[in-house]
Structure 1
Amino acid sequence: MENIQKIKCLIVDDEPIARKIIKNYIDQISFLENAGECKNGLEALDVITKDKEIQIVFLDINMPNLNGLSMAKIMKNNIPIIFTTAYSEYAVESYDVNAIDYLLKPFSFERFTTAVFKAIEKIEKAKDFPNTAILELEENKIYIKSEGMNFPVLLTDILYCEAMKNYTKVFISNGKSLKTLIPFSKIEQDLIYKGNHFLRIHRSFLISKLHISSIKSNHINIGNFEIPIGPQYKESILKTIGLK
């Protein structure tokens, strides 16, 4: 790690003691730099918008004005997020927003360091595979980068997307599928921004409502594909589709 460039970190927590502990941990790691401290998500979004060099965000969840989970969903860039919270019940939701790690307060310096190195691994991978897997071509078309090539795809041709371990798989109506290294959460943001017919129905699946062939209690059929409905998404899906 001798030649690593300083990594700028942002601390977001409404508790002064919590901010102080994280700042102390950051100060003990030579290749980390404290880029600032925020009391809530709104302040943090403002800082991130202005400072493009921030690379890691240590983010509390229960905060006034804008909580950590909501802030993470709003963030459109791919900055690694490490949640720091006293509440274990948010762990599942944290991974829905592609969090690197989930630190349960009070956490040790050793546990903190483990999370930092996970974030660094993601940062290094991003250098090898720049965040250009989805690029705007026209209002109704995108480029999806797969296996070193950019493929133009009509939004209306996308059937669904599936989150895999280290990549996202995009299924297209012509029978082909594209594997892209861009995170599933980023693909969800981009597609929902570009087309209101995309719908998240599971932690690992995003579908196009244009291609729904049938709906059952626990799954949706997209052509010949059977996509599971996550229990936490079921009620909102039925309302969105107009079945409730």
Structure 2
Amino acid sequence: MFKCLIIDDEELARTLIESYLKKLDFLELHGSYESPLDAIGTLKEKTIDVIFLDIQMPDLKGTVFAKMIPAETKVIFTTAYSDYAIQGFELDALDYLLKPITFERFLKAVNKLKINNTDTVKSEYITVKSGYDLHKIKLVDINYIESDSEYVVFHLNGRKIMSYQTLKSLEKTLPKTLFLRVHRSYIVNTEKVTGLKGRDLLLNEISIPVSDSYYDTVKSKLF
């Protein structure tokens, strides 16, 4: 599920994109704003995957705001002016939608999110030393990582790998777009999360405790 924001000073434009998002089960709207300034708080609180961003706005141009957002957040520019297309792509935008936006063109743009995410994550791996052995582990194969004294245990599908290192040091090397610390003893793969029951995070039949200090972050980023 990709978390989205809409930023456009035109209400009709926001409403149209909102209607398109409701048709797709892999996109989740976390805010619709008239001004980029109104969206800053949400970007600080949550990890947003993509922003549908208008370019010509009175408070702050979308092309300027795009330089201020986190690097992991993708931008799909939306504008009535084709003159901005080159500038949009120079800012490494995922796509550039010219108004009026049809659903077919919108779908083509958002499907790039799935392609981009799949290609990037599937190609990423870490090398883990366990005793005298080295293991090459794909990030997508990790369900969760557990601290065990001076070791960490990688819980994969059907097997475990123990490595002599700390969870704190490991946390710094893992991509924040895929992994989240939820407890002093646990890091989870966010793509494996299926629910939250009380103070336990569910990964299908597996329950992972969420500590008080991480609870608000878990709720805002995963639900």
The aligned counterpart of 1:172 is none
The whole-number CA distance in structure 1 between the counterparts of 2:117 and 2:60 is 26
Q: Which is further off, 86-95 or 119-128?
A: 119-128
The aligned counterpart of 2:42 is 47
| 2:46 maps to 1:61 | no
The aligned counterpart of 2:23 is 28
Runs of 4+ with >2 A deviation: 123-130
1:81 aligned partner, one-letter code? V
1:85 aligned partner, one-letter code? T
Q: Which is further off, 34-43 or 118-127?
A: 118-127
- Return the TM-score normalized by structure 2: 0.53
Alignment of 1:106-125 (within 5 A): 106-125=100-119
The aligned counterpart of 2:3 is 8
**Cα 1:76–1:32, aligned 2, differ >3 Å: closer, same or farther?**
closer
3-state SS, counterpart of residue 102 of structure 1: strand
Give 1:124 shift: 2.4
**Cα 1:98–1:26, aligned 2, differ >3 Å: closer, same or farther?**
same
Matched positions, count: 125
The aligned counterpart of 2:69 is 75
Q: Which residues of structure 1 form unaligned runs of 5+?
A: 1-5, 131-147, 149-244
The whole-number CA distance in structure 2 between the counterparts of 1:129 and 1:78 is 17
The whole-number CA distance in structure 2 between the counterparts of 1:37 and 1:119 is 19
| 2:80 maps to 1:99 | no
Check whether the contact 2:7–2:52 (CA below 8 A) recurs between aligned residues. Answer: yes
The whole-number CA distance in structure 1 between the counterparts of 2:67 and 2:10 is 22
- Return the TM-score normalized by structure 1: 0.48
The whole-number CA distance in structure 2 between the counterparts of 1:126 and 1:15 is 34
The aligned counterpart of 2:142 is none
3-state SS, counterpart of residue 44 of structure 2: helix
Check whether the contact 1:40–1:67 (CA below 8 A) recurs between aligned residues. Answer: no
Q: CA RMSD for the aligned pairs?
A: 1.7
**Cα 1:40–1:126, aligned 2, differ >3 Å: closer, same or farther?**
farther
Give 1:46 shift: 2.5
Give 1:129 shift: 5.5
Deviations 1:62-85 (A, max 9, x none): 112211100111123221111111
Q: Which residues of structure 2 form unaligned runs of 5+?
A: 128-223
The whole-number CA distance in structure 1 between the counterparts of 2:119 and 2:34 is 30
3-state SS, counterpart of residue 13 of structure 2: helix
